[in-house]
Amino acid sequence: MIPAPLKPLLDRLTLAWHERAVALKAISFAFVGVINTAIDFSIFWTAATLFKWPLVPANVLAWIVAVTFSYVMNSFTTFGPESGHALRWRDYATFVASGVAGMVASTATLFALSYVLPLALAKLLSIAVSFAVNFSLSHFVVFRARRPRGDAR
């Protein structure tokens, strides 16, 4: 039993701890995203310039490899406790769908803001929107904390 005067302090400390965990996950997710960007660009550039692939297939290949790498890395690092450090086809499919949602949000943001802001700023803001959508869907949908089997709560 916690004494009444200490309860608000304990509640604030608990909240701060949970917010810190989300912040650390966001940083880890962003770090994986930076590596993904390098992978995506490298594969795209190699396919399009070295192998002379058309842009769309080169871009799709690069995106598929990058999103797969992102799923694996986030399953083992950023959301390791939630995923049980395991890879699952269903989670992968949900992660890919969330990536598509992030891409759609990014593209829509870029398109809309390009009419009112300089293109570089519109692109940066669209990246921020994509990050927010992808992280939120990963955190709350793909890698949400699961109750143990048999827990009816």
Cα separation, 16 vs 4, whole angstroms: 19
- Residue 123 pLDDT level (bands cut at 50, 70, 90): confident
Residue 22 has pLDDT above 70, yes or no: yes
Q: What is the pLDDT of residue 150?
A: 58
pLDDT, tens digit (0-9, with 9 covering 90-100), for 29-69:
999 999 988 998 899 889 989 999 888 788 789 889 999 99
Question: Rounded to an integer, what distance in angstroms lies between the CA atom of residue 53 and that of residue 106?
Answer: 25
Radius of gyration of the chain (CA): 19
Assess whether pLDDT exceeds 90 at residue 103.
no
Domain ranges of the chain: 7-142
- Distance of alpha carbon 76 from alpha carbon 88, whole angstroms: 12
What is the model's pTM?
0.76
| Rounded distance between C-alpha atoms, residue 133 and residue 127, angstroms | 10
Sign of CA dihedral 49, 50, 55, 60: negative
Higher pLDDT among residues 4 and 24, named by residue:
24
